[in-house]
Chain A
Amino acid sequence: MARDWSGELVNCIRSADRVAANLLLNDWAETRTYEEAVAEVLTPALEHFGNLWASNVGETSLAQGYVAAKVAEDLLDRVLAAQAADGRTVEMEKGPVVVGNVEDDYHPLGRAMLVAFLRSAGWNVHDLGVDVPPAEFLDKVEEVGARVLGASAMMFSTARNVIHLREEIDRRGLRGRVQLAVGGAVFKLRPELVEQFGGDGTAPTALHAPALFERLWQRSLELDPVTR
């Protein structure tokens, strides 16, 4: 019977065991490549775990989500290292996108997980860190030509600052072209705040963010197809 690599990886993630996950992927890479592991092991494992996480079947924990992000990041690092060693140009195929914590928000963990999942899904991510003022977000968006901006906020008090981000997008005439993805604990708790604060979409977990960014990127292209 063929070994269930992705099932084993899900078990490592559910045990929040990053070391075991990396050993498993090293085992895989003895006969195949890390690049193949992305499509054949990591992606199905994350899809399966993501469903558990979103529905909270089996009581998923923050630690499991964190380890899932770290496993994705670790594998991506190995893929990029292998490509560089082969002399191949390392380029992310999707994006660029810009992410950061909104002004006054200093809770980086959710954003760090978001960045790991986006990069492992092939997105070129510009991560601005914590406490990012609206103008700084939009300066970077315009500089790199991003169509999706991801804003993270953990607390209700800081999530309100998404409103100022919305205002800055509109003030620069970028409504539609720049789609605003919002995420963080408060939006999971009170989903109605996404629209109330001016967000264009959210995802149930950081693991679901790549799919959200795909949808928002397509929406941006439909609303403003011009390349700048």
Chain B
Amino acid sequence: MKSLERVLATVGGQPKDRPAFVMNLSLYGSKLAGIPPEVLYADASAYAQGQIAVREVFGPDLLLSPFLVPALGEAFGSVSATGRSQVPNIRQFATRGAREALALPLPDVDSHPRIVYLRETIRTLSARYQGEVPVVGVLVSPVDLPPLVMGVEAWLEALLSEPDTARALMERWAPFCADLANAMLGDGATLIAATANFANPTLVPPRVTQGIGRPALEATFGAIRGPIILHHGGARLEPHLDAYLGLPNVAAYFVDARDSLPQARRRLGEGPILIGNVHGPTLENETPESARSLAEAILAERAGDPRFIFGTSAADIPLATPPEVITALVDAVCAAGSVAP
């Protein structure tokens, strides 16, 4: 089967030759293609080169646009720092708080250089792998955009102490997030992946999840014209899935490595796709043998789940991870064999 067929079979709960898999190898493309991270995250063709190398070496069934949420902060005026061997981080925020953020102009999704960069990676990858490998457009939902523009503390302050301002900001930024997602779908992305940490009870109290987070997600996701992967974003998702159920267009849930896959499946029911859950950022500590054991245990537990995709959760797999460790995960998936409902 081609990767696209495998993923579509997963969406439909149909039989397939093996489970599909996705890995956060956004940064790792730099290692495989011999491109420095600062070039990878500035030049769309360099990023695409990296992902082409990822596809050739490891063969994931889904390719990702840059897992580079700071670029969205940059589009609003924040400034990033590029580490020597890591994904850029915001080092200077565009504003000090939510009220100031309300006055910021919205970036143009067709012309802002950082957004053009993100979109161009999707255009290049989807053109190359059309009909063969789905491409995922990686975004944040509007609840996770303010930390990239004003910092986590200022956003928490607004959510807790200035709910009307926070709500107004969500109403202003939700259409931007939806427009960008739709533009990415137009560029050839098959799915959109978005985080929603600041609608998660692990981070914020119920008055925020219910009064600000959920309405913002409903407005944004309802306006996106394609399927969405709700990504855990570093927080546990499984105990709180009830808070997210029923959101429009969410087709898949990408859970945290600490989450229980069987519990998540029980909470979700049979319909949605479940993705997880090896912790990517600590794979460099594994040996090929231990990585394979981790994967085999997950695959054995999920055997027979027609809507399961094996994935590495959280941030990027580090550059220091030996390729043999990643290959061991891939081998385990390939050895898992066919999946029948």
Interface positions of A (Cβ within 8 A of B): 15-19, 59, 61-64, 66-67, 104-109, 112, 130-131, 155-158, 185-186, 189-190
In the complex, the 8 A-B pairs of residues with the closest C-beta atoms, listed nearest first:
A156-B281, A157-B86, A106-B89, A104-B83, A62-B203, A16-B205, A109-B152, A63-B204
B residues near A18, Cβ cutoff 8 Å: 160-161
Inter-chain CA distance A186–B279, complex, in Å, is 11
Chain B: number of interface residues, binned into ranges: 20 to 34
B residues near A104, Cβ cutoff 8 Å: 81, 83-84, 86, 89
Q: In the complex the two chains form, is A62's CB within 8 Å of B161's CB?
A: no
B201 at the interface (CB under 8 A from A): yes
Given contacts A16-B160, A61-B202, A63-B159, contact A156 B153 (CB under 8 A): no
A residues near B208, Cβ cutoff 8 Å: 63
Inter-chain CA distance A99–B160, complex, in Å, is 27
Find the B residue at minimum CB distance from A106.
B89
Instruction: Write 18 A-B pairs (CB below 8 A) sorted by A numbering.
Output: A16-B204, A61-B201, A62-B156, A104-B83, A104-B86, A104-B89, A106-B91, A107-B152, A112-B153, A131-B91, A155-B86, A156-B281, A156-B315, A157-B86, A157-B318, A189-B258, A189-B279, A190-B285
Can you name 9 extra interface pairs (CB under 8 A) apart from A63-B159, A64-B205, A104-B83? A16-B205, A59-B239, A61-B203, A61-B205, A155-B281, A155-B315, A156-B282, A157-B85, A189-B282
Which residue from B81, B160, B201, B316 sits with its C-beta under 8 Å from A106?
A: B81
Smallest beta-carbon distance A194→chain B, Å: 13
Inter-chain CA distance A64–B153, complex, in Å, is 13
B261 at the interface (CB under 8 A from A): no
Which residue from B84, B91, B315 sits with its C-beta under 8 Å from A130?
A: B91
Given contacts A185-B234, A190-B282, contact A63 B85 (CB under 8 A): no
Find the B residue at minimum CB distance from A185.
B234
Which residue from A108, A131, A185, A186 sits with its C-beta under 8 Å from B153?
A: A108
Per-residue CB contact flags for chain B residues 75-97 toward chain A (1 = under 8 Å, else 0) read: 00000010111110111000000
B146 at the interface (CB under 8 A from A): no
B134 at the interface (CB under 8 A from A): no
Q: In the complex the two chains form, is B315's CB within 8 Å of A157's CB?
A: yes
Inter-chain CA distance A138–B12, complex, in Å, is 58
B151 at the interface (CB under 8 A from A): yes
Q: In the complex the two chains form, is B281's CB within 8 Å of A157's CB?
A: yes
Find the A residue at minimum CB distance from B87.
A157
Inter-chain CA distance A109–B157, complex, in Å, is 12
